[in-house]
Amino acid sequence: MKNTQIRNRVEFLDSTRALCILWIIGFWHMAEYVKWDISVPLTEGVTNGVLATFTLISGYFLGAKKISGIKDAMAFYKKRFLRFYPLFFISSTAFLFIYLIWDIQYIGSVQQYLLTLLGLSCIITPAPQTIWFISMLILFYALTPVINSAKGCLKKFLYCVTIFAVFQLLDLFLFDVDNRLLLFFPFYCIGLLIANKVKFTDKINYIYAIFLFILFIVISLFEKLNSLYLVKVLMVCAFILFAFELGKMCNKISFCKKTLERISYASMCAYLFHRQMFGLVYKLIGVFPVWAAYLIILPLLMVVSYCVQYTYDKIVISFEE
């Protein structure tokens, strides 16, 4: 029974993560290639909520990793590095060549490229387009062994607060720290803190979900108000909780659940390489017809990303052995 509960919990988080990647790739970024003007406070708020959901889930899955010394920390870094960094390096390098050849500035300089690879592009700005999110996560991953080495939840919380204060001080006195890092780091910390503390259930509360959705929309209507940091945090919290309920709903439908599991598995690779693929197709055919975007290009991206991720994981497993 215990194993079943754990499996269900992970499955609904995977469904939530898959829905989030579909929003980013299939709507927020796809709009650029089908020429939709979608940049309004509501969609911007959803995008912040989606990225915060990704960030919190990342922290949640890593929060249970116990670090009791240098050996544990190095083992953590090695596993995280092998999990995605070579693909991230290839993606970032591809963005650099795109800039050097076609002057398309996802990464706009060699300095920005190096800072991105080091996970510092959100500290020493400007951060690159798209790939900034993974670069930010690299910094969070680098700090995770420090936070997880704390004994007890209170000490771990104090470590998080201290690191956040350092980010604020860097922003005030030394660098122009990216506001998105300051928004998303607390949610990564929440993920770390609630790991093994909060027991998620797959039970769906429809009234709760509808309330959260309405709250999110109402806050988004007040454009000047939702630009304030604390209001933005409240807005993102409402979205994350709603996204969890939506993930649970999708998890109850067998076909939807299986499809989203595969999309979740392919999500990292899809995020790293969708811009390159979309850009290549855009250069060949111009503006995407909507039917082609959603019936051919997006499904093809997911299939290719799944195959690449599967092959890459096989290589990593053989390397570890």
Mean pLDDT of 295-316: 95
CA distance 229 to 231: 6
Q: Which of 8-22, 42-56, 114-128, 268-282 has the lowest mean pLDDT?
A: 8-22
For the chain, what is the mean pLDDT?
90
**SS3 category, 198:** coil
Which is higher by pLDDT, 263 or 1? 263
Cβ(59)–Cβ(191) below 8 Å: yes
**SS3 category, 144:** helix
Which is higher by pLDDT, 150 or 204? 150
CA distance 80 to 32: 32
CA distance 100 to 115: 17
Long-range contacts, 126-129 (Cβ 8 Å, 24+):
126/178, 127/178, 127/180, 128/92, 128/95, 129/105, 129/275
Which DSSP symbol is given to 28?
A: I
**Residue 321 pLDDT:** 58
Instruction: Please determine, for residue 65, whether its predicted confidence score (pLDDT) is greater than 90.
Output: no
DSSP line for 252-311: TSHHHHHHHHHHHHHHHHHHHHHHHHHHHHHHHHSSPPHHHIIIIIHHHHHHHHHHHHHH
Q: Where are the domains of the chain?
A: 2-320
Instruction: Please determine, for residue 103, whether its predicted confidence score (pLDDT) is greater than 80.
Output: no
Which is higher by pLDDT, 305 or 108? 305
- Angle at the Cα of 152 (from 2 to 140), degrees rounded to 5? 85
pLDDT digits (tens, 9 = 90+) for 24-42: 999 999 999 999 988 888 8
pLDDT digits (tens, 9 = 90+) for 192-231: 999 877 777 777 788 888 888 888 888 888 877 777 888 8
Q: How far is CA 155 from CA 75, 148, 160, 183, in A?
A: 23, 10, 9, 22
The closest of 277, 282, 283 to 302, measured between CA atoms, is 277
**Residue 10 pLDDT:** 63
Q: What is the CA radius of gyration of the chain?
A: 20
Mean pLDDT of 116-121: 96
Prediction pTM value: 0.92
Rounded (10°) angle between helices 132-148 and 110-117: 30
% of the chain beyond a pLDDT of 70? 96
How would residue 264 be classed by pLDDT, with cut points 50, 70 and 90? very high
The beta-strand segments (E) located in the chain are none
**Residue 2 pLDDT:** 39
CA distance 26 to 267: 12
Instruction: Please determine, for residue 3, whether its predicted confidence score (pLDDT) is greater than 50.
Output: no
The closest of 212, 191, 73 to 137, measured between CA atoms, is 191
Instruction: Please determine, for residue 88, whether its predicted confidence score (pLDDT) is greater than 70.
Output: yes
Q: Which residue in the block uniquely carries the two structure tokens 């798209």? A: 130
Mean pLDDT of 277-284: 93
Which is higher by pLDDT, 203 or 71? 71
Amino acid at 319: F
